Amino acid sequence: MGAVRQRQIIVSVVSHGHGQLVPDLLQDIGCLCDHSRLGVVVTLNIPERLPIAPDRFPFPLAIVRNATPKGYGANHNMAFEVMQGDAFCVLNPDIRLTVDPFPVLLDHLKALKAGLVAPLIVNSKGRIADSSRRTITPFRIVNRVLRLEKGLDYEIGAAPIAPDWVAGMFLMFSSRAFAEIDGFDERYYMYCEDADICSRLGEIGQGIWLIPSMKVIHDARRQSHRDLRHFWWHINSLARFCTKHRSSHQVYRHEF
């Protein structure tokens, strides 16, 4: 890969065998977004065919093919080193756009002097996802597992809100803040990295904000529901997180 001049926003997308979803997301970015501001890094975590050519898009696109699989955090940390920008944006491959979300998010990132901002996540029917949550306690963990606790943790209106954490399907970081905390903790292979990085941003005084005025669509893939390997990664990450943050009663992403 040749050198790419610095862009204002770098977008990182990691495919764990989701190569059929990536072209649609890239097409959304190419058609809807100001490509003069963007650079995109797509990481193929496992061998797969990606049915696109890097030069078909109007923005710089770097494709990274891993020789051996890496975890969620390790892949995004690696992408952070491939291209440089003022903001570093992590997107799941199953995100779909209907408008250009980046200018609004970048404006709020700067205006709020935040370490991280995220859009409102909705499903294909427009229903708001529980992507922003309050601090999790053991009592709430049990309630979530038993489905006793339902609904959203925060009332969503027009104004930005400062949740305890935001889930990792769409995150826009200040590149400076991301570098200051050395990115994601790579000891998590998958799950809980988002909660951990929110906790660590909070520890250095970097705000976390949800911007309800900007919506993106997420076609949720709940792998831990039906894949024992993903379920094991989830449980292992949860145990690591609770051990690491047990004294501060911090948060984790819960998707049982």
**Each residue's pLDDT tens digit, 88-121:** 999 999 999 999 999 999 999 999 999 999 999 9
Parallel/antiparallel/unpaired status of strands 9-15 and 87-91? parallel
The HSE-up count of residue 100 (CA atoms within 13 Å, CB side) is 15
DSSP alpha helix (H) spans, the chain? 22-32, 72-82, 102-111, 138-145, 175-180, 193-203, 223-226, 228-244
Which amino acid type is present at position 149? E
Tell me which DSSP letter residue 67 carries.
S
Examine residue 94 and state whether it is found in any structural domain, yes or no. yes
Examine residue 256 and state whether it is found in any structural domain, yes or no. no
Examine residue 151 and state whether it is found in any structural domain, yes or no. yes
Which amino acid type is present at position 250? Q
Residues of the chain with pLDDT under 50: 1-4, 224-225, 247-256
Tell me which DSSP letter residue 8 carries.
S
Examine residue 252 and state whether it is found in any structural domain, yes or no. no
Which amino acid type is present at position 60? P
Q: For position 254, what pLDDT does the model report? A: 37
Instruction: Please check whether residue 132 is in contact with residue 161, taking contact to mean a CB–CB distance below 8 angstroms.
Output: yes
- Nearest residue to 5 via CA among 64, 85, 86, 88: 85
Q: What is the CATH classification number for the domain harbouring 92?
A: 3.90.550.10
Examine residue 253 and state whether it is found in any structural domain, yes or no. no
Examine residue 85 and state whether it is found in any structural domain, yes or no. yes
Examine residue 1 and state whether it is found in any structural domain, yes or no. no
Which residues 6+ apart lie within 8 Å of 234 measured at CB?
Answer: 190, 191, 192, 224, 255, 256
Strands (E), 26-142: 38-44, 61-65, 87-91, 95-96, 114-122, 132-133
Alpha-carbon gap, residue 120 to 211, rounded angstroms = 6
Count up the domains in the chain and report the number.
1
CA angle 200, 202, 203 (to 5 degrees): 65
Count other C-beta atoms under 10 Å from residue 130's C-beta: 16
Predicted TM-score (pTM) of this structure:
0.84
Residue 87 φ then ψ, to 5°: -125, 145
Q: For position 52, what pLDDT does the model report? A: 81
Examine residue 249 and state whether it is found in any structural domain, yes or no. no
Instruction: Identify the domain containing residue 202 by its residue range.
Output: 9-244
Instruction: Please check whether residue 98 is in contact with residue 164, taking contact to mean a CB–CB distance below 8 angstroms.
Output: no
Q: For position 188, what pLDDT does the model report? A: 77
